[in-house]
Amino acid sequence: MIGSEYIFSPYLLLLLPIAAFLYASVGHGGASGYLAVMSLFSVPITLIKPTALVLNILVSGISFFFFYRERHFRWKLFYPFALTSIPFSFLGGYISIDASLYNVLLGIFLVFAVLRLLGLFGSVNPILKEINIYYALIIGAAIGFLSGLIGIGGGIVLSPILYLLSWANIKQTASVSALFIFVNSIAGILGFTMKGGVIPDSSMSLIVIVVLGGLLGAYYGSKKLNTITLQRVLAIVLMIAIIKLFTI
């Protein structure tokens, strides 16, 4: 099995838990960060997608637990996206396709999201609006399918949509995104394995260090960091994803 004896760089082992901490603090699983770091260190492509999805499941699950415990989760903000994203994420995980064009388009979108979060287009509306179910179903399907294609959970896209459309505050966004990533990553890995893909043994060697980073990030994000800090952290997370999308 390729990757069963693969030895990861010590620098990669240092950067992965840092990525997990940063992403978990805003309710993300960290797949964008893992993809970027593993690509930077030339990890074989056969290892990258399944490894990112496995780590994504673990860290997003941890993040959701902490934000849910602090009562930030809102079911009505989650289920419309999940209804369509789960089957489409499975479909995306089953299909092999070049995602370079998608990366460029997503990167452009995230640039505007970061600028908005930094207040360059005016402040985010503090008054929350009722979620539009029909729009949420369509958005969920699109995010799920594209997430399955490239091996992410989709939270990096869902977060700015929820927040910038004033459907959720920053911590509600984190909690909903965490569960969204969790279920999408499971669907994506199922699609990947049903097509014949194999989860490398080497992926398992990363679990302990990444889970530790995720635990610390989720704890501080859900309890310690204030809204302004989380908004800035989310902007940093998105900028990391943009760099990854344009360089991977």
Instruction: List pLDDT tens digits, range 39-70.
Output: 777 777 778 778 888 899 999 999 899 889 88
Q: In this structure, what DSSP letter does residue 198 have? A: -
Above 80 in pLDDT, residue 181?
Answer: yes
Is 96 inside any structural domain? Answer: yes
Top pLDDT among 161 and 126 is at: 161
Report the DSSP beta bridge partners of residue 120: 122
pLDDT band of residue 170 (cuts 50, 70, 90) is: confident
Per-residue pLDDT at 61: 92
The CA distance from 196 to 12, in Å, is: 27
Is 243 inside any structural domain? Answer: yes
Above 90 in pLDDT, residue 138?
Answer: yes
Give me the chain's average pLDDT, please: 80
User: Looking up tokens 């637990």, which residue turns up?
Assistant: 65
Token pair of 96, please?
Answer: 């092999």
Distance of alpha carbon 75 from its chain centroid, rounded? 19
What is the arithmetic mean of pLDDT over 189-196? Answer: 83
pLDDT band of residue 241 (cuts 50, 70, 90) is: low
Top pLDDT among 4 and 71 is at: 71
Phi-psi category of residue 230: left, alpha or beta, with phi > 0 → left and psi -120 to 50 → alpha: alpha
Is 4 inside any structural domain? Answer: no
Of 180, 145, 190, give the one whose Cα is nearest residue 50. Answer: 190
Is 3 inside any structural domain? Answer: no
Q: In this structure, what DSSP letter does residue 174 have? A: H
**Residue 3: other Cβ atoms inside 10 A:** 18
Q: Are 124 and 163 in contact (CB under 8 A)?
A: yes
pTM check: above 0.85 = no
Number of domains, the chain: 1
Residue 103: domain span: 10-247
- CA torsion sign for 94, 96, 97, 98 is positive
Above 50 in pLDDT, residue 3?
Answer: no
Q: In this structure, what DSSP letter does residue 130 have? A: -
By mean pLDDT, which of 47-51, 146-150, 188-192 is the weakest?
146-150
Is 5 inside any structural domain? Answer: no
**Residue 7: other Cβ atoms inside 10 A:** 7
Per-residue pLDDT at 1: 40
Is 1 inside any structural domain? Answer: no
